[in-house]
Structure 1
């Protein structure tokens, strides 16, 4: 585990970085509390690109992550299937292997955090096992609706270390207003349902 300090916004920010061969996930309540809060999906990457293309349940628009004192994590996000928004919430339990989390979603999924700046961004690596196909996925979430080109480039480089090519990365900040609607609307889930009813 390599711990670095970056000068950001005129103050030092801790960045936890992990190589592809190491595992890291905050396993103290303090760390989980720092992860808790609102997040936006910025970039998704996968070695099977169809898993993150339109109408895929893995093409997620993150809204909120909550850490708990039993080391569990709760995720709240949305997917868009055939033009309709679907709200999804899920509880992820820590696996027997420290730093690894399991969840049943599009199969049996296991994931960990690759890199995190609690006040800025977080990068996940996920492996999904199902009857059709085993695939891996990377996700960049941020506290704001978009991030700098420098951070996006860094994400691409991390994906490449896991065997995910740049062509298999999608930028969800460029797919319209879906990922940032809640920035201006007080209740994004309600907005999705109302839009669906008008169809």
Structure 2
């Protein structure tokens, strides 16, 4: 029996894998649990390597901040021009409740997207005191693919995320004000509604970006009338 004294803490599987003396003792006890029987050195080394890689990945995500969570469309060669045309706002989510409140003036309903060599131009209708008021927001392209900047009511960074140009597109916007970050995620559709699968995917995406389920709004189920606000240039809500 080999007796090992570890002044820095209990003997772990990683210690066993890295220390040949420990590996020779197939009955080494790890963290006071049941004695290990026939612990293969290669298996333990592989486990330690996997653990270290996971810790490294988590560290890189933390260092990269929220931007590290954005992977863009599945196809890195996706042509941004394919998102141009008419769209409907069908879902909205945010970590800031005021952006999704039922009667807020901060809701924007998409009408169409135009694509230029330097930018994406979002044509919205904004509900203001029962009126659908047209407005336009320009998102300037950056050196990073599928990432844009907007100087509209403060500086924002917008990411083009999941997309099926014939059916739906998801955009995620980050803005910082007074040291607090706000995240707004929007789901646009070519039709006034989307399939349950697309809505499920949108909700899953929001959860992975730290947005609670209670802050995800299905606009097709709230009476917000995205179709009317997206098609009427201006007029009262009936």
Smaller-chain TM-score range? 0.7 to 0.9
Question: Which ranges in structure 1 are unaligned for 5 or more consecutive residues?
Answer: 1-18
Judge conservation of contact 1:138–1:159 (CA < 8 Å) in 2: yes
Judge conservation of contact 1:45–1:137 (CA < 8 Å) in 2: yes
192, 196, 202: which one aligns with 1:145: 192
1:62 shift after superposition: 0.6
Confirm or deny that 1:61 pairs with 2:105: no
C-alpha separation in 2, matches of 1:134 and 1:57: 20
Could you list the per-position Cα deviations for residues 122-177 of structure 1 after superposition, in whole angstroms to 9, with x for gaps in the alignment? 01111022348420011110000001122111111110000001100111112336
Pick the structure with more helix per residue.
2
The alignment yields a C-alpha RMSD, in angstroms, of: 2.8
Judge conservation of contact 1:55–1:81 (CA < 8 Å) in 2: no
69, 89, 98: which one aligns with 2:145: 98
Aligned residues: 171
Confirm or deny that 1:40 pairs with 2:88: yes
Judge conservation of contact 2:123–2:134 (CA < 8 Å) in 1: yes
1:50 shift after superposition: 1.5
Return the structure number with greater relative CO, CA threshold 8 A, min gap 6: 1
Q: How does 1:121-132 map to 2 (within 5 A)?
A: 121-131=168-178
Corresponding position of 1:16: none
Question: Which ranges in structure 2 are unaligned for 5 or more consecutive residues?
Answer: 1-66
